[in-house]
C-alpha cells in the first residue's frame, strides 16, 4: 500500500472515528437536552395544568360564594324566574358553569345550564353523599364529584337572606369536566388535555382528521412511556389523578405535550451537526490527500530512482534538497547509487576477468549443480556443443552431451564425496570420426555450494601423437632389426641375384662362349634355349630375379628406419628438389609400366620466393618420389572414369613451416585405409607389387628426421592429398 | 694375351662362384678366395689388376685386406662389394684413392655393373 494511501487511510480512520464519536456524543447530547427540555416542559405543563385545573375548582368556589351572596338570589328565592333571568345576564361571569338553586326542601328551583350537559338532578341531591347536608347547614362545600360516568366540579353554598340571616336555600354550581372544559385548560396551558373517568374518556381537546373529537384509549395512552404519536404530531404524555371530595381516585387528567416542534428543532440540530461533521470529514479527506501527496512526492521520486537503480541505471541523481529525513535519505540514496555503480563496475570487471580466464582455457569448462544442470558454460563448451550459454544454462548436462549419461554416477559421487574424479580417453564419435576426451570432475568444495566443475579436454591429437610415437617406435625397432639382419640377408640375396643373372647369361645363345661350350658337347644351344623358354624356365628365373630385387628393396627400406644420424642437413631449394623428383619419376621404368607419367597433367603451384630450408635432400626426394608413385598408382585405378589424370604439387609457407602438398585426382581412400596408410607393411597394392613400407618410411623421414608432420586427406571419388610440413628453421 | 686379372674375395660361396663364372665368361682371369688370408697367399707370385673384396670376412676384414694388398701391389685397384648397408669408407681407404663409386652394396641387381667398373679401372691397361 502506498504511503499516500496509508496516510489517507490513517487520517480518514482517525477523522472517521473522532467524527463518529463526536456525532454520537453531539446527538446524544442533543437528544438528552431535548428529552430533558421536553420532560421539564411536560412537568411544567403538568403542574400548570394541575394549577389551572384546580384553579377552576377554586374559582367555582369563589363564584359560588359570590352568587350565593347576591341579594337578588336570596330575595327572589321564591321567584325562580327572576333569578334565572338575573343569572342569565351573568353568563360571561359564569361561562360554562351550570347554576342550580335548591330550596330547603331539596328541590331545584332554578336551573340555569350554561354547559351543554348537566349531571345534577334532584335525585343526585338525595343520593350522592357530597350533597347530603342538614337543612340548616351553612357549610360551604366545593369538590370534585363523580356522577355516573361523568365528573364535575361542584360547589355548594348556602343562600342567606342578608337581612334576616336566614338560610333560604343552597346554590349549587356545577362545572362538568367535559371537552369544553378541557378546551379552556388547553387555551391556557397550550397542551392537549384528556380527562378520563376511570377509563372512559370524558373530555378531549384532540380532533381527528374529520374534526371530530378524538378519545384515545385510556390504557393505551397512560401506558405510554415517552412519546405518543397522533396524526403527524408527536406528544409526551403526563398524567395526574383526579380525586373526589373523599380522596378517592375517580379519574385522570392526561396532558399531552406536543414535542413535534422541539423534535423538529432537534432534528434540525442533528442535521446541522451531521453537516458540520461531514464538511469537516470532507475537509480532512482533502487535507489528507494533499498531505499524502506532499509527503509521498519525494518518496515517489525515491521509488522511481530505486527502480532505475534496480534496472541497472546507477546514474540517477535525486534532487531533493530538503533538510528533513527524506532529504537525508535522498542524499544517502545518491551516495548509495554512486558506490553501487563503482561496485558494479568492479564486479563486472571481475566477472569479465574471470570469464576471460575461463573462456581462454583450451578446455571445455562446465559448471553443474547437484542435479546435473548446467550453471556455467565457457567458450570451448559452446564450440564443442554448438550451444549458446543462454541455451545451455539450466539444461541437464546429459541432454547436451549424451556421452556424459554414463558418467552421471561418477558426477554424483564426486559432488557427494567432494573428491575429484578423472576419466581418461572417453571415446566419442563425431561425424564418423572417433574423438577422445579426458574428463575431470572437480567438486565445489566450499560449504553450502553443491555442484561441480567439469573439465573436458580433447585429447584426440595427443592420442594420435602417442599412436604415432608407438608407430615410430615400431618402425625404429624394425629399423634396428633390419640393420642387424641386412648383412645376413644381403649376402645370400646378392648371391641369388648374381646367380639368376649368371644362369640367364649362360643359357643365352647370344654369347659366343655359351655356343662354344655347347658345341664341345655337341649340343645345339638354340634348341636348349627354346626348350627352356617353352618350359617357362627363363620366366621362372626372371620371376626369381624380380622377387630378389623386391626383397632387396624391403631390406633397404627397413634400413631407412634406422638411418637417422647419417642424413646430413643442407639448406636446399625445395622447388628444385620437387622438380628433380618429377624428372626421376618420369624416367622410372617401373612407373612407366604402370602408367605413362607423360599422360598425367602435372600442375605446379609454388609460392614465389620460397626460402631454402634445411633438409636431407636424398631422403626428401625419396619421400616425394614415393608420393608421386602412389599418386600414379592411384590414378591408374581411375579406369573408365573419364577423368583427366592430374597431379598437383604445391609449395607454400604456413607459419613456421614449409608445406608440400601432393594431390591426385584418383579414386581416393576410405577412412579405414586413410588411417592405416602410414602403418608399416600396410599396402593396398596387389601382393608382390608394393613393399608396404613406402609411406611409413616417408612418414618416418618427415617426422623423425625432419621433425615435421605428415598427414593425408582423402575423399573417396575425388582424390587424395598428402601434406608434408617441414620446419623452416632447423631446431 | 695379357688378360685382366681379378682377385675375388668373398666368404659367401654363392656370390663367389657366380661372380667368378660371370667374370670368366666375360674373359677375365679370376682368382677367388674365401678369406683374406687365403687371398694373400694366392697372389704372392701374380700381379692382380682389380680386387673385388667383401668387407665382412672371417679372419682379417676387408679394410685390412685392402690395405695389405695395396702395400704388396700398389697398382692394384679395388671394388668393395659389401652386404653392410651402413658401410662407409674409412679414411685409410680414401687415402688409397678409393671413392664412394667403388663401393658396391649387395645385392647388385645388374651384374654388368661389375664389368663396367672393371673396364673403367683398367682403361689405362690395353
- Give B108's contacts in chain A (Cβ within 8 Å): 494, 497-498
A499 touches chain B (CB under 8 A): yes
Residue A414: is its pLDDT beyond 90? no
**pLDDT of B81:** 92
What's chain B's Rg over C-alpha atoms? 13
pLDDT at A591 exceeding the cut of 70: no
Task: State phi, psi for A140 to the nearest 5 degrees.
Answer: -100, 145
DSSP assignment string, A407-446: GHHHHHHHHHHT--EEEEEEEEEETTEEEEEEEEEEE--S
Nearest to A498 among B56, B85, B108 (CB): B108
Residue B63 domain flag: yes
Residue A700: closest CA among A626, A623, A590: A623
**Which chain A residue has its CA at the smallest distance from B13's CA?**
A495
Please state the rounded mean pLDDT for residues B68-97: 88
Backbone torsions φ then ψ of A103, nearest 5 degrees: -85, -175
The pLDDT value given to residue A305: 81
Q: What is the average pLDDT score of chain A?
A: 83
pLDDT of residue A562: 62
Nearest CA in chain A to B15: A495
Contact A117, A134 (CB under 8 A): no
What's the confidence (pLDDT) of residue B33? 93
Distance from CA of A423 to the nearest CA of B (A): 47
Nearest to B85 by CA among A646, A47, A561, A670: A561
Facing residue for B107 by CB, picked from A490, A506, A563: A490
Place of cell 548446467: A374
Contact A556 B85 (CB under 8 A): yes
A679: exposed, middle or buried (Cβ count in 10 Å: 0-12, 13-18, 19+): middle
- Quick one: pLDDT band at residue B1, thresholds 50, 70, 90? very low
| Count of other CB atoms within 10 angstroms of residue A163 | 9
What is the per-residue pLDDT for A540? 93
**Chain B interface, best mutation among A498, A502, A618, by max B CB count within 10 A:** A498
* pLDDT, position A73: 78
Please, are residues A108 and A122 in contact by the beta-carbon 8 Å criterion? yes
Domains in chain B, number: 1
- What average pLDDT score do residues A57-75 get? 84
Range of the domain at B90: 5-121
Say how far apart CA A622 and CA A376 lie, in whole Å: 52
Whether the CB of A555 is below 8 Å from some CB of chain B: the reply is yes
Tell me: cis bond preceding A281? Omega within 30 of 0 counts: no
pLDDT for res A689: 64
A590 vs A53: which has the higher pLDDT: A53
A498·B86 Cβ contact <8 A: no
CA torsion angle A230 A233 A235 A241 (round to 10): -40
Q: In this predicted model, which residue has the larger pLDDT, A75 or A276?
A: A276
- Cβ pair B107:A513 closer than 8 A: no
Which of B18, B56, B110 shows the shortest C-beta gap to A495? B18
A409 close contact with B: CB closer than 8 A:
no
CA distances from A499 to A98, A365, A489, A494 (A): 198, 69, 15, 8
Cβ partners under 8 Å of residue A176, min gap 6: A96, A98, A115, A117, A118, A119, A150, A151, A152
DSSP letters, A292-347, are HHHHHHHHHHHHHHHHHHHTT-TT-------SSHHHHHHHHHHHHHHHHHHHHHHH
- Percent of chain B topping pLDDT 90: 51
Contact across the interface for A491 and B111, Cβ inside 8 Å? no
Residue A380 has pLDDT above 80, yes or no: yes
**Long-range CB contacts (within 8 A, 24+) of A340-346:** A340/A309, A340/A314, A341/A314, A341/A315, A344/A312, A344/A314
Report pLDDT for B124: 60
Q: Is the pLDDT of residue A563 over 70?
A: no
Lowest average pLDDT, out of A184-193, A490-499, A689-698, B77-86, goes to A689-698
Residue B116 belongs to a domain with what CATH number?
Answer: 3.40.50.2300
C-alpha cell at A375: 550453471
| Beta-sheet strand order (sheet of A421-430) | A374-377, A364-369, A451-458, A433-443, A421-430
Using CA of residue A441, residue A444, residue A449, residue A454, what is the dihedral sign?
negative
| Res B70: pLDDT | 92
Query: A300 CB contacts (<8 Å, ≥6 apart)?
Result: none
- Tell if the CB–CB gap between B12 and A491 is shorter than 8 Å: yes
What percent of chain A is predicted at pLDDT more than 70?
Answer: 95
- Tell me: pLDDT of B115 over 50: yes
> Per residue in B8-52, pLDDT tens?
999 989 999 999 999 998 889 999 999 999 999 988 788 999 999
pLDDT in tens, A680-695: 777 777 665 667 778 8
With a cut of 60, say whether residue B97 has pLDDT above it.
yes
Phi first, then psi: what are they for A724, rounded to 5°? -115, 130
CA torsion angle A10 A11 A16 A18 (round to 10): 110
Determine the Cα–Cα distance for residues B7 and B70; give it in Å rounded to an integer: 13
Neighbours of A517 (CB within 10 A): 14
Q: Which of A4-8, A463-467, B10-14 has the highest mean pLDDT?
A: B10-14
Contacts of B55 in chain A (CB under 8 A): none
Query: In angstroms, rounded to a whole number, what is the distance separating the alpha carbons of residues A479 and A472?
Result: 10
pLDDT at residue A520, rounded to an integer: 92
CA distance B104 to chain A (A): 11
Whether B126 is in a domain gets the answer no
Task: Give the closest of A491, A498, A513 to B111, CB-based.
Answer: A498
d(CA B101, CA A580): 21
Q: Does position A481 have pLDDT exceeding 80, yes or no?
A: no
Please report the DSSP string for A144-213 in residue order.
EEEETTEEEEEEEEEEE-TTT--EEEEEEEEEE-SHHHHHHHHHHH-SEEEEEETTEEEEE--B-TTS-B
Taking CA atoms, A652 is separated from A457, A572, A659, in Å, by 32, 15, 5
State residue A663's pLDDT score.
92
Alpha-carbon distance B72 to nearest alpha carbon in chain A (angstroms): 28
Q: Does A605 touch chain B (CB under 8 A)?
A: no
Residues of B in contact with A555 (CB under 8 A): 85
Task: Using DSSP, state whether A69 is helix, strand or coil.
Answer: coil
Contacts (Cβ under 8 Å, ≥6 apart) of A633: A594, A595, A666, A685
Tell me the three cell numbers of residue B76: 692394384
Set of chain A residues whose Cβ sits within 8 Å of the Cβ of B3: none
Q: Give how far the C-alpha of residue A432 lies from the chain's centroid of Cα atoms, to the nearest Å.
A: 47
Q: What is the pLDDT of residues A136-179, one digit of tens each?
A: 778 888 889 888 888 999 999 888 887 788 888 888 989 998 88
Residue A548 CB-density burial (10 A; 0-12 exposed, 13-18 middle, 19+ buried): buried
Burial label for A565, CB within 10 Å (0-12, 13-18, 19+), is exposed
Pick the most confident of A457-461, A549-553, A603-607: A603-607
Q: Which of A598, A81, A23, A638 is nearest to A281 (CA)?
A: A23
**Lowest-confidence segment of A53-57, A652-656, A727-731, B79-83 by average pLDDT:** A727-731
Cα distance between the two ends of chain A: 79
- Give the Å distances, CA to CA, from A382 to A93, A362, A364, A371, A672: 131, 12, 8, 21, 30
Q: Quote the CA–CA distance of A293 and A287 in Å, as a whole number.
A: 10
- Is residue A228 within 8 Å of A235, Cβ to Cβ? yes
Taking residues A238-264, report their average pLDDT.
86
Confidence of residue A731 (pLDDT cuts 50, 70, 90): low
pLDDT at B126: 39
Residue B32 belongs to a domain: yes
- Alpha-carbon distance B48 to nearest alpha carbon in chain A (angstroms): 23
What span, in angstroms and rounded, lies between the C-alpha atoms of A522 and A318? Answer: 133
> What is the full DSSP assignment across A245-293?
TTS-EEEEEEEEEE-HHHHHHHHHHHHHHHHHHHHHHHHHHHHHHHHHH
In a domain, B106, yes or no: yes
Q: Which of A96-100, A222-226, A438-442, A627-631 has the lowest mean pLDDT?
A: A222-226
Which residues have CB under 8 Å from A60's CB, separation 6+? A97, A142, A153, A154, A155, A173, A175
Per DSSP, the three-state class of A49 is helix
Cα B51 from chain centroid? 3
pLDDT tens digits, residue range A450-459?
888 888 888 8
CB contacts, 8 Å: B106 with chain A: 490-491, 493-494
In this prediction the ipTM stands at 0.86
Phi, psi of A602 (to 5 degrees): -105, 120
Cell numbers standing for residue B90:
674409412
The dihedral formed by the CA atoms of A286, A291, A292 and A298, expressed in degrees to the nearest 10: 150
Return the pLDDT at A538. 92
Domain assignment present for B17 = yes
Q: Is residue B24 part of a domain?
A: yes
Percent of the residues in chain A that have a pLDDT greater than 90, as a whole number? 10
Nearest chain B residue to A559 by CA distance is: B85
Give the pLDDT confidence score for residue B19 in this predicted structure.
92
Contacts of B21 in chain A (CB under 8 A): 502, 506
Would an 8 Å CB–CB cutoff place A493 in contact with chain B? yes
Residue A536's pLDDT is what? 92
pLDDT at A422 over 80: yes
C-alpha cell at B92: 685409410
Q: Rounded to whole angstroms, how far apart are CA atoms A18 and A153?
A: 59
Domain membership flag for residue B113: yes
Strands B29-33 and A451-458: unpaired
Strand duo A570-572 + A601-606: pairing? unpaired
Whether residue A563 lies within 8 A of chain B, CB to CB, comes out as: yes
Angle at A543 between CA A539 and CA A545, to 5 degrees: 115
Amino acid at each position: 500500500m502506498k504511503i499516500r494511501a496509508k496516510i489517507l487511510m490513517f487520517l480518514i480512520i482517525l477523522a472517521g472515528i473522532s467524527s463518529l464519536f463526536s456525532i454520537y456524543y453531539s446527538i446524544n447530547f442533543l437528544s438528552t437536552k431535548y428529552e430533558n427540555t421536553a420532560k421539564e416542559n411536560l412537568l411544567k405543563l403538568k403542574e400548570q395544568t394541575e394549577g389551572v385545573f384546580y384553579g377552576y375548582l377554586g374559582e367555582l368556589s369563589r363564584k359560588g360564594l359570590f352568587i350565593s351572596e347576591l341579594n337578588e338570589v336570596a330575595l327572589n328565592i321564591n321567584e325562580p324566574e327572576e333569578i334565572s333571568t338575573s343569572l342569565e345576564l351573568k353568563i360571561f361571569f359564569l361561562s360554562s358553569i351550570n347554576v342550580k338553586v335548591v330550596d330547603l326542601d331539596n328541590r331545584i328551583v332554578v336551573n340555569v345550564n350554561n354547559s351543554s350537559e348537566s349531571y345534577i338532578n334532584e335525585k343526585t341531591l338525595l343520593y350522592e353523599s357530597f350533597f347530603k347536608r342538614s337543612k340548616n347547614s351553612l357549610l360551604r362545600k366545593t369538590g370534585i364529584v363523580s356522577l355516573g360516568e361523568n365528573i364535575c366540579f361542584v360547589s355548594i353554598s348556602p343562600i342567606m337572606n342578608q337581612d334576616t340571616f336566614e338560610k333560604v336555600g343552597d346554590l349549587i354550581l356545577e362545572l362538568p369536566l367535559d371537552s369544553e372544559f378541557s378546551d379552556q385548560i388547553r387555551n391556557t396551558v397550550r397542551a392537549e388535555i384528556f380527562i378520563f373517568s376511570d377509563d372512559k374518556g370524558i373530555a378531549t381537546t384532540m380532533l381527528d382528521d374529520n374534526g371530530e373529537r378524538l378519545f384515545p384509549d385510556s390504557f393505551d395512552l397512560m401506558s405510554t412511556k415517552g412519546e405518543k404519536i397522533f396524526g403527524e404530531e408527536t406528544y409526551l404524555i403526563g398524567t395526574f389523578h383526579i380525586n373526589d371530595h373523599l380522596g378517592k381516585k375517580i379519574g385522570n387528567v392526561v396532558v399531552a405535550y406536543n414535542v413535534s416542534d422541539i423534535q423538529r428543532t432537534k432534528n434540525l440540530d442533528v442535521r446541522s451537526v451531521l453537516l458540520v461533521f461531514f464538511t469537516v470529514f470532507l475537509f480532512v479527506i482533502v487535507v489528507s490527500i494533499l498531505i499524502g501527496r506532499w509527503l509521498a512526492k519525494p518518496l515517489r521520486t525515491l521509488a522511481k530512482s530505486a527502480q532505475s537503480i534496480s534496472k541497472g541505471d546507477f546514474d540517477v541523481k535525486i534532487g531533493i534538497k530538503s533538510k528533513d529525513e527524506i532529504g537525508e535519505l535522498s542524499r544517502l540514496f545518491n551516495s548509495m547509487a554512486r558506490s553501487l555503480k563503482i561496485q558494479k563496475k568492479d564486479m563486472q570487471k571481475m566477472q569479465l576477468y574471470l570469464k576471460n580466464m575461463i573462456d581462454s582455457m583450451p578446455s571445455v569448462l562446465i559448471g553443474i549443480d547437484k542435479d546435473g544442470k548446467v550453471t556455467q558454460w565457457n567458450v570451448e563448451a559452446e564450440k564443442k556443443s554448438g550451444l549458446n550459454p543462454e541455451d545451455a544454462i539450466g539444461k541437464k548436462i546429459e541432454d547436451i552431451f549424451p556421452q556424459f549419461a554414463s558418467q552421471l554416477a561418477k558426477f554424483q559421487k564426486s559432488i557427494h564425496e567432494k573428491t575429484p574424479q578423472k576419466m581418461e580417453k572417453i571415446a566419442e564419435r563425431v561425424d564418423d570420426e572417433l574423438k577422445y576426451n579426458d574428463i575431470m570432475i572437480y567438486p565445489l568444495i566450499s560449504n553450502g555450494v553443491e555442484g561441480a566443475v567439469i573439465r573436458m579436454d580433447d585429447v584426440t591429437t595427443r592420442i594420435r601423437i602417442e599412436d604415432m610415437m608407438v608407430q615410430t617406435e615400431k618402425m625404429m625397432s624394425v629399423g634396428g632389426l633390419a640393420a642387424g639382419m641386412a648383412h645376413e640377408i644381403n649376402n645370400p640375396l646378392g648371391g641369388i641375384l648374381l646367380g639368376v643373372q649368371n644362369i640367364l647369361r649362360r643359357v643365352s645363345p647370344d654369347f659366343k662362349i655359351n655356343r662354344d661350350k655347347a658345341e664341345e658337347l655337341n649340343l645345339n644351344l638354340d634348341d636348349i634355349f627354346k626348350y627352356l623358354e617353352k618350359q617357362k624356365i627363363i620366366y621362372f628365373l626372371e620371376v626369381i630375379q624380380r622377387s630378389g630385387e623386391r626383397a632387396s628393396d624391403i631390406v633397404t627400406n627397413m634400413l631407412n628406419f634406422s638411418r637417422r644420424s647419417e642424413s646430413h642437413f643442407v639448406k636446399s631449394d625445395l622447388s628444385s628438389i620437387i622438380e628433380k623428383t618429377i624428372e626421376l619419376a618420369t624416367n622410372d621404368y617401373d612407373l612407366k609400366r604402370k602408367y605413362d607419367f607423360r599422360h598425367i597433367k602435372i600442375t605446379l603451384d609454388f609460392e614465389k620466393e620460397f626460402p631454402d630450408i634445411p633438409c636431407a635432400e636424398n631422403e626428401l626426394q625419396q619421400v616425394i618420389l614415393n608420393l608421386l608413385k602412389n599418386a600414379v598408382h592411384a590414378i591408374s585405378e581411375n579406369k573408365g572414369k573419364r577423368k583427366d589424370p592430374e597431379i598437383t604439387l604445391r609449395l607454400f609457407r604456413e607459419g613456421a613451416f614449409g608445406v608440400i602438398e601432393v594431390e591426385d585426382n584418383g579414386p581416393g581412400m576410405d577412412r579405414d585405409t586413410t588411417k592405416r596408410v602410414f602403418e608399416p607393411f600396410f599396402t593396398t597394392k596387389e601382393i608382390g607389387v608394393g613393399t608396404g613400407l613406402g609411406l611409413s618410411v616417408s612418414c618416418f623421414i618427415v617426422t623423425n628426421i625432419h621433425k615435421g608432420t605428415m598427414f593425408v586427406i582423402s575423399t573417396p571419388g575425388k582424390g587424395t592429398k598428402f601434406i608434408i610440413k617441414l620446419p623452416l628453421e632447423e631446431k | 694375351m695379357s688378360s685382366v686379372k681379378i682377385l675375388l674375395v668373398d666368404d659367401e660361396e654363392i656370390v663367389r662362384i657366380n661372380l667368378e663364372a660371370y667374370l670368366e665368361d666375360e674373359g677375365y682371369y679370376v682368382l677367388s678366395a674365401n678369406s683374406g688370408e687365403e687371398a694373400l697367399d694366392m697372389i704372392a707370385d701374380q700381379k692382380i689388376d682389380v680386387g673385388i673384396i667383401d668387407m665382412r670376412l672371417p679372419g682379417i676384414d676387408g679394410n685390412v685386406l685392402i690395405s695389405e694388398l695395396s702395400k704388396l701391389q700398389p697398382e692394384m685397384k679395388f671394388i668393395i662389394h659389401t652386404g653392410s648397408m651402413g658401410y662407409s669408407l674409412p679414411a685409410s681407404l680414401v687415402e688409397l684413392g678409393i671413392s664412394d663409386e667403388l663401393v658396391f652394396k649387395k645385392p647388385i641387381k645388374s651384374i654388368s655393373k661389375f664389368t663396367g667398373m672393371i673396364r673403367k679401372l683398367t682403361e689405362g691397361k690395353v
